[in-house]
Amino acid sequence: MVTVYEKKPGHEKKAGLSRRELLKRGGAGALLIISGSAVISPEHAWGLETSALKPETMATLIQVARDIYPHDQVPDKYYAIAVKGHDETAAKDPAHKELIEKGIAELDKKAGKGGYRGLGWEEQRVALLTDIEKTPFFQAVRGGLVVSLYNQKELWPIFGYEGESYSKGGYIARGFNDIEWL
Amino acid sequence: MAASFDLKNDGVVVIIGSGAGGGTLGNELAQKGIDVVILEAGARHEYEDFINDEWDSFAQLAWKDKRTTSGDWRVAKDFPNLPAWIVKSVGGSTTHWAGASLRFQEHEFKAATTYGKVKGANLLDWPVTLAEMEPYYAKAEAKMGVTGTNNWPRLPGNNNFKVLKAGADKLGYKECHTGNMAINSVERDDRNSCQQTGFCFQGCKWGAKWSTLYTEIPKGEATGHLEVRPNSMVIKINHDASGKVTGVVYADKDGKLQEQKARIVAVAGNSIESPRLLLNSESSKFPHGLANSSGQVGKNYMRHTTGSVYAIFDKPVHMYRGTTMAGIIRDEARHDPSRGFVGGYEMETLSLGLPFMAAFLNPGGWGRSFTTALDHYDHMAGLWIVGEDMPREENRITLHKDEKDEHGMPIADVHFDDHPNDEAMRNHAYKQGQALYAAVGATRTFPTPPYPSTHNLGTNRMSEKAEDGVVNKHGQSHDIKNLFVSDGSQFTTGAAENPTLTIVTLAIRQADYIAAQMSAKTI
């Protein structure tokens, strides 16, 4: 079972660590922290529990997702939601589990000491991804992501997409022809 | 009230498919008092059931059954199992279409004569002329409520149109307007007018866009001569020893095989399913499939030369607001070989929502080059290119050698290679589209590759002579008198225009012919 949750007071036990402890362990500037079976973002108060994939793998997968479709205005949480399906699939399908675990392990290996997440510049990480662009691992991650990331309704306003409009009467009285700069 | 016919009733006309061709033919025949059974593979979703959400709507309406692809077209690489974006639902692709309703140009009915010999193209003149089609075009426009005809006003231009128009003016294009759209600009035919909702492709929840689902079909049902049977996937057409067709075998909603007897069978399953069905109906008498003495069934598959151009501006556009395709430039639709290709193309406004833009802007693309485009989604404008592509024998639908669907019917393989003429036209259109947006101040433009085919044409083509094609000028098969083709697969060539108006026009004309032949007892 994988859940993404806002880290409200009642949820702290689930994560097994208090926010204070997390901050202490992670140190200043840490983006994602691994705790037990969870990936936690103390700065932004959310966590993602894994059931089949190693939480370290999930944390790297979240970074890979951001490096594939980098949007600086989109918080990590949405990338976490976008890749959590891989954990669910891995729980049911050992072949998928191996595909992801092995794919991430190889990325870490190529990255050298400190692993993939240890590479400080996006360019460095993207260079590694470009090398594996044709692999089934990369294709599985990118192919799923194009739907699981961009189909999150909560994310649409960030891009200025308004979504469903029928219930609001369409745009006939809401700016279908409001362009003024031409 | 909708009719209900017995499976053994061999007096009915059986139509396979309920879209632009099948739905229209069904109503036209029913209005004449002829009993019709329409077998539709998909379910029946009424317009209030449509969903303003791209992926959810795709799941509801799209034909998702597996197909395979081959050839050098980019769709085979990007969407190997989704060569076409068409619909499996009552109303067929008229639920999904954008509404653009243009008559073909006179010369486009005479492609072989006009364009001359084009290497690697299987060009042929249509056995009908524009003059013969005109009275039926007029009937189709009146039926569908096409704007800019019959004194119906054109739709108001949305933001995306205004950008297109500004660019057209800068480039000196003369014929740019909000199109001839089968979308109500005023309330008519007991249906709403367009509310500029922006989800034309997901089914119009207002019912403002013409679709057989809520026009032809209920009107036909009201005569008591039409029955629409949804969730009925036809897998074989049967014939007797004389070669006349006698009925069809279909899998019903429970997957159980049934046979519906018929006096006449009309195939209208779109240009992939229609030839698939004819090929799958092979018998000892017709070892290469029904109506295939010419060997042309499944061949000459056309999909229009398409592509899109999107552009980013330094100020907002909100292109997704309003009628998706109400905007057209027609100047490039002429035949002018000095541009380096035969035939022409239309430029029409187009918009995708964010989820589909991510999937289709540059399939397979990733990294900042890709994502910075989406970052400016609300500053984007877009147009679609739709031009005449060349019929080629090797571009064809075949039955897959190994893979079968849930009913044991071989799945379809769609092979397509771009003709050099297609490539030259597409590149010309990309250049014009990019220049158009640059003229309005675009900071970045995107020559976007073709999507899975929405215009699927030509795989049972019309011909004067039986050896050149599958059906005659009335869509009647050359080989079997009581077997008809009623969809876009009849098209001899593709022309530059969106095909639906011509499919509807042919169906109205075909209904007159079938009724006359039935009266004369020749079929």
Question: What is the tens place of the pLDDT at every residue in B10-61?
Answer: 999 999 999 999 999 999 999 999 999 999 999 999 999 999 999 999 999 9
Per-residue model confidence (pLDDT) at position A35: 80
Q: Is pLDDT above 80 for B92?
A: yes
Which chain B residue lies closest to A148 (C-alpha atoms)? B355
- Distance in angstroms (rounded) separating the CA atoms of residues B258 and B251: 6
Instruction: Please state the rounded mean pLDDT for residues B255-280.
Output: 98
| Mean pLDDT score of chain B | 98
For the cut 70, the answer to whether the pLDDT of residue A34 exceeds it is yes
Q: Give the C-alpha separation, B394 to A80, whole Å.
A: 46
Phi-psi region of B233 (alpha: psi -120 to 50; beta: other; left: phi over 0): beta
Question: Could you say which of 1.10.760.10, 3.50.50.60, 1.10.287.1080, 2.40.128.120 is the CATH number of the domain covering B13-519?
Answer: 3.50.50.60
CB nearest B159 (choices: A166, A170, A179): A179
Percentage with pLDDT > 70 across chain B: 100
Q: How far apart are CA B322 and CA A5, in angstroms?
A: 37
User: DSSP string spanning B24-81?
Assistant: HHHHHHHHTT--EEEE-SSB---GGG--SSHHHHHHHHB--S--EEESS-HHHHH-TT
Beta bridge pairs of residue B226: B36
Which chain B residues have a beta carbon less than 8 Å from that of A157? none
Position B381, amino acid: A
Q: Is residue A164 part of a domain?
A: no
B315–chain A nearest CA distance, Å: 7
Q: Residues of B near A (CB-CB distance < 8 A)?
A: 52-53, 55, 156-159, 162-163, 166, 194-199, 205-206, 313, 315-318, 320-322, 353-355, 357-359, 364, 366-368, 370-371, 374-375, 377-379, 440
Mean pLDDT confidence for A60-83: 97
Spatial distance between the Cα atoms of A77 and A5, rounded to a whole number of angstroms: 10
Residue A86: per-residue pLDDT: 97
Chain B residues in contact with A160 by the CB 8 A cut-off are 316, 318, 377-379
Kindly tell me if the per-residue pLDDT of A16 is higher than 90. no
Model pLDDT, residue A14:
45
Cβ burial of B512 (10 Å; 0-12, 13-18, 19+) is middle
Average pLDDT over residues A9-36: 53
Contact indicator for B349, B383 with CB cutoff of 8 Å: yes
Instruction: List phi, psi (to 5°) of B445.
Output: -130, 155
Pairing between strand A46-49 and A4-6? antiparallel
Chain B contact for A121 (CB, 8 A cutoff)? no
Q: Shortest CB distance from B354 goes to which of A156, A172, A175?
A: A156
Nearest residue of A to residue B360, measured between CA atoms: A146
Q: What is the pLDDT of residues B405-432, one digit of tens each?
A: 999 999 999 999 999 999 999 999 999 9
Kindly report the pTM of this predicted structure: 0.95
In percent, how much of chain A has pLDDT > 90? 73
Partner residue opposite A175 with nearest CB, options B52, B318, B355: B318
Residues B295-341 have pLDDT tens digits of 999 999 999 999 999 999 999 999 999 999 999 999 999 999 999 99
ipTM of the predicted assembly exceeds 0.90: yes
Which residues of chain B are within 8 Å of residue A82 when distances are taken between CB atoms?
Answer: none
Does residue A163 lie in a domain region?
Answer: no
Angle in degrees, CA B408, B410, B414, rounded to 5: 155
Write the residue in A69, A172, A175 that is nearest to B371 by C-beta. A69
Measured between CA atoms, the residue of chain A closest to residue B48 is A166
* pLDDT tens per residue across span A125-138: 999 999 999 999 99
Q: Is residue A82 part of a domain?
A: yes
Q: Tell me which chain A residue has its CA closest to the CA of residue B167.
A: A182
Q: Give the per-residue pLDDT at A18.
A: 53
Q: What is the pLDDT of residue B243?
A: 97
Question: Which residue ranges make up each domain of chain B?
Answer: 13-519
User: Is 50 exceeded by the pLDDT of residue A27?
Assistant: no
Exposed/middle/buried for B478, CB within 10 Å: 0-12, 13-18, 19+? buried
Contact A182 B163 (CB under 8 A): yes
Indicate the length of chain A as a whole number: 182
Strand locations in A36-76, DSSP E?
A: 38-41, 46-49
Helix runs in B79-225, H state only? 111-115, 130-144, 159-171, 216-222
Stretch (H or E) spanning A158: helix A156-159
CA nearest B163: which of B426, B383, B432, B446? Answer: B383
Of all residues in chain B, the one with the smallest CA distance to A126 is B367
Q: Provide the pLDDT for residue A9.
A: 40
Residue A73 belongs to domain spanning = 4-158
Average pLDDT in the B456-470 region? 98
**Length of chain B, please?**
523
Q: Do A150 and B166 touch (CB under 8 A)?
A: no
CB B355 within 8 A of CB A148: no
Mean pLDDT score, B236-256? 98
pLDDT confidence band for A45 (50 / 70 / 90)? confident
Contact between chains at B52 and A178 (C-beta distance less than 8 A): no
**Residue A149 lies inside a defined structural domain of this protein:** yes
Residue of B354, B360, B374 best to disrupt the A interface, most CBs of A under 10 A = B354
Q: How far is CA A45 from CA A37, A80, B347, B395, B458, in A?
A: 16, 13, 49, 55, 58
The predicted pLDDT at position B422 comes to 98
Residue A168 in any domain: the answer is no
Q: What element of type H or E holds B370?
A: helix B368-375
Total CB pairs under 8 A between chain A and B: 112
> Based on the structure, what is the number of domains in chain A?
1
Q: What is the pLDDT of residue A15?
A: 45
pLDDT of B75 above 50: yes
Kindly tell me if the per-residue pLDDT of B447 is higher than 80. Answer: yes
Instruction: Please state whether beta strands B13-16 and B264-267 pair in parallel, antiparallel, or not at all (unpaired).
Output: parallel
pLDDT of residue A42: 75
Residue B153 CB burial class (10 angstroms; 0-12, 13-18, ≥19): exposed
> Rounded mean pLDDT of B58-65?
98
Give the pLDDT confidence score for residue A5 in this predicted structure: 46
CA dihedral A56, A62, A68, A70 (to 10 degrees): -140
